[in-house]
Structure 1
C-alpha cells in the first residue's frame, strides 16, 4: 500500500496594491460608460459581486492607460516571481524546511507566459538545488489550485520521502483592458484580483491534513464557457454567463462520481472548500451540493477581501478553514476551463 501524503504547510501572498471596490466602480464608469453602450446595465455587478477589496499587481492608475502585451508580460514576470518567492518561503518556513530541501517544484499559472518559467527565475532566490525537478503547468485557470494540489500529491506519493513544493501564482488584473470591450471584460473588472499560494507536501505522516485522493471531470462540448482569448494587448477573458446555472444543474452528478471512486458520497464530507468564482457561483455551489444557504462562509470572506484570484483562491479558502479548525473530512472543489471540475479529498490530522 502506498504511503499517505501529508500536507505539511500552506501559505498565501498578496501584492501590496489595494483596489477598493467602490473606487474601482467609479473609475470603471468614467472609463467605460461612453465606450460600452450597455455599461449602465452591467454596472450593478460592482456592488453585487460580494467584493470589498482586492489586491493588484500594479496601482489602479497603471490600468487606466492602454497597455500592450510586452508591458503586461514585463509586469507579470516581475510581480509573479516576487509573489512566488514570498509564498514559497513562508510555506517552507512553516514546514521547517528550506529551498534546498525541495525535490520537486510544481508551478501553476495561467495569467502570463514566462519561458524560462517562474520557478527557474526564482531558483537562486529560493536556494533550490540544481537537480530539483521543475514542473510548470499552464492553462488550468480557476481549477489550478485544486488540480495542482492533486498533481503535487501524486508526485509526492510516487517519490516516498521527497519534498514537493506547489506554488500557484495568478495576476488576473493584467487582463483588464479598455479597448474591444465585451460583457466578460466588464465582469472581469469587477471580480479579478491577484495573489499566490504555496503548499509543501511529503509522503508519510505529519502536517495538518492528509491528502486522500484527487479527481477531475471534464464535460464535453464546453470549451467556450471559460478561458482566454488572445489579442494584440494580451489575454482577454472568456466568461459565459451560463457558469452559475451550469454549476447548479450539472455539478452534483460529477461530484457524486468523483467521490464514489474514493468510496465516498456527499454525506460523508464534513466541509466542502470551494473556489468562490463570484457570489452567483457560491449560491450555485451551495444549491448543487445541498448545503444550507450561507454555509460557504470562508468562501464569502475570501471573495470579499481578495476577489477572484483564479487558481490560488481555493487555497486561500483552505488556509482560512484550517485556521478555524479543519473537520475530519473535507473536499476542495474548483471549476475551470475545459470545462472541468476538480476535487481533492483531505482528512484532518
Structure 2
C-alpha cells in the first residue's frame, strides 16, 4: 500500500494517529475520565465531593477497554442461488405471477428495469416457493405466515454463508469470535436468527449477541457502528457483524395498479448478506487490518420520517419509497451531514476528492446527487455503481458488498479505489431519513 503522505491533518486522537499500531501499555485517556460513585448512605442532596472509585475499579475499567480504534479485519458476502438477468426479469415476473395480460404494467416494468442500471439480481423467491404458497402472489390474501416461515428457513443460512467467508479471510478459528451483531429488515422471530447463525458457525455458547431490526438501507452501516463500539470497549474482542436481507420473500407480490411504486421497487431490489470482522489492536502475527474505524455518527433529517417507510401487514411488507424526493433530499442535506461527521478530525479542509468512498448506492440517481453536490471526480463512486449494477439494491447488506470490493481492490494492487487516499467515508442512507457515517483510515 502506498506510503504517500496525506495532505489532510491527523486527528487529535493519539491512538488514531498511529494506524493499526501494536497496542501500548495501560489505559487510554480517549475513553473519558474516571466515573464517580455514590457511597452507601449518601443522599442525592448531600453536599460535598463524592469519594473517587476504588483504584482497583478504575484500573479494571481501563484494562477492559482496547488501546486503539476498531479495525476492519475481514469481509465476506453471499447471495441466494436464484440469479435472474435484468433483461429477463420482467418476462419472468409477469409469467410467474400469471399477469401477462397486464401489458401496460409489463411495459412499465420493462422500462423501469432498463432505467435503473442493474445487470442482474439474486432472489430468495423461487417458482417452487410460489407454487407451494400461491397466497404470496395475491396482495388481498394473508401471506405473512408463509413469508416469515420462508425467511426463518433461509436467512440464517445466507447470513452464515457470508460470515463463513469473512472468517476464512480472517484466518482465525470461528471460536475466537467474542461478539455477534446481526442486522436484518426481513422478518422477525424469537429467538432471533443470531442464535441460529452462531450455531451454524460453531461460535462459543458465551458469544455476546446483539440483534438489530428494520433499519433497511442503513442496516449494514448501523451494524458496523455497534461492532466498533463493542470492539473498542472490550479488550481483545473480535466482533462479527452480519447484515442479511431477503426482501423478495417479504415484499414479492403480483403487479397491483393500486401500488404505483411496484415497478420501480421490483426493478431494483435484490437479496444478499454481508459480514465484517471488527477488532481493535490487531495481532501482527495473524491479522491483516485494512481500515481503522476512526469515528462513527448518525444523523436524522427532521421532518422526513414518512418519506421512506416500510410497514408489516397481512400480505407482507409494503414500502413507500418516495422515489422522486429521495435524490433531492440527498442533494439538499448530504454535504452538511458529512461535514459534521468529519469536522472533529479536520478532514473537510482537504476537500471531498481527497477521500475514498464506501457508499451504499441506493440508486444511480442518488449517486448522481452525491457527485453533483460534493463535486466528486469521475470514478470516486465507481465501486458503489458496480455493486448496484451487479447485485441491485440489497438494502442493508449493500454497503458491505461495496466495502468488500474496496478491500479486495486495495489488497490486489495496493491502492484500488481512492488511490493515494488515506482517509475515507462509509455512508449508508435509509428510513428516518437517516444517515450513518463511519470515518475510515487506511492501515499502512
Shorter-normalised TM-score: what interval? over 0.9
TM normalised by structure 1 equals 0.93
Within-5 A mapping of 1:211-290: 211-241=293-323, 242-265=325-348, 267=351, 269-290=354-375
State how far apart, in whole Å, the 1-side matches of 2:191 and 2:182 are: 12
* 1:114 alignment partner in structure 2: 189
Residues 116, 364 of structure 2: 8 Å contact kept: yes
Of residues 183, 192, 198, the one that matches 1:123 is 198
State how far apart, in whole Å, the 2-side matches of 1:263 and 1:36 are: 56
More strand by share: 1
State how far apart, in whole Å, the 1-side matches of 2:248 and 2:215 are: 17
State how far apart, in whole Å, the 2-side matches of 1:12 and 1:88 are: 7
Q: How many pairs does the alignment contain? A: 349
State how far apart, in whole Å, the 2-side matches of 1:53 and 1:176 are: 17
* 1:192 alignment partner in structure 2: 269
Of residues 51, 54, 62, the one that matches 2:118 is 51
State how far apart, in whole Å, the 2-side matches of 1:304 and 1:123 are: 32
- Over residues 12-66 of structure 1, what are the superposed CA-to-partner deviations in whole Å (9 max), with x where a residue is unaligned? 1111110111111224456567669766556421101111110111335645844
State how far apart, in whole Å, the 2-side matches of 1:253 and 1:60 are: 46
Give, in angstroms, the shift of residue 124 of structure 1: 2.4
* 1:13 alignment partner in structure 2: 78
* 1:202 alignment partner in structure 2: 279
- Over residues 173-215 of structure 1, what are the superposed CA-to-partner deviations in whole Å (9 max), with x where a residue is unaligned? 1212126551222211001111001111111135111111111
Give, in angstroms, the shift of residue 305 of structure 1: 0.9
State how far apart, in whole Å, the 2-side matches of 1:346 and 1:259 are: 10
State how far apart, in whole Å, the 2-side matches of 1:306 and 1:207 are: 26
State how far apart, in whole Å, the 1-side matches of 2:94 and 2:204 are: 50
3-state SS of 2:345 partner: coil
Give, in angstroms, the shift of residue 280 of structure 1: 1.1
Of residues 400, 403, 406, the one that matches 1:321 is 406
Larger deviation: 25-34 or 11-20?
Answer: 25-34
Larger deviation: 33-42 or 290-299?
Answer: 33-42
Q: In angstroms, what is the RMSD of aligned CA positions?
A: 2.1
Residues 63, 177 of structure 1: 8 Å contact kept: no
Give, in angstroms, the shift of residue 141 of structure 1: 0.7
- Structure 1, unaligned runs of 5 or more: none
- Over residues 322-347 of structure 1, what are the superposed CA-to-partner deviations in whole Å (9 max), with x where a residue is unaligned? 22115411111110111101111111
Residues 105, 255 of structure 2: 8 Å contact kept: no
TM normalised by structure 2 equals 0.74
Residues 109, 267 of structure 2: 8 Å contact kept: no
- Structure 2, unaligned runs of 5 or more: 1-27, 29-66, 137-142, 283-287, 416-420
State how far apart, in whole Å, the 2-side matches of 1:286 and 1:29 are: 35
State how far apart, in whole Å, the 2-side matches of 1:102 and 1:188 are: 37
* 1:178 alignment partner in structure 2: 254
3-state SS of 1:167 partner: strand
* 2:4 alignment partner in structure 1: none
State how far apart, in whole Å, the 2-side matches of 1:3 and 1:225 are: 39
State how far apart, in whole Å, the 2-side matches of 1:167 and 1:236 are: 24
Residues 90, 109 of structure 2: 8 Å contact kept: no
3-state SS of 2:261 partner: helix
Residues 172, 194 of structure 1: 8 Å contact kept: yes
- Over residues 85-105 of structure 1, what are the superposed CA-to-partner deviations in whole Å (9 max), with x where a residue is unaligned? 111111112212233211110
State how far apart, in whole Å, the 2-side matches of 1:97 and 1:63 are: 40
Bigger Rg, which one: 2
Give, in angstroms, the shift of residue 117 of structure 1: 0.8
State how far apart, in whole Å, the 2-side matches of 1:298 and 1:190 are: 20
State how far apart, in whole Å, the 1-side matches of 2:129 and 2:160 are: 24
Give, in angstroms, the shift of residue 262 of structure 1: 3.4
Question: Could you say if the C-alpha distance between residues 179 and 21 of structure 1 is closer, same or farther in structure 2, counting changes exceeding 3 Å?
Answer: closer
State how far apart, in whole Å, the 2-side matches of 1:210 and 1:60 are: 43
State how far apart, in whole Å, the 1-side matches of 2:145 and 2:255 are: 16
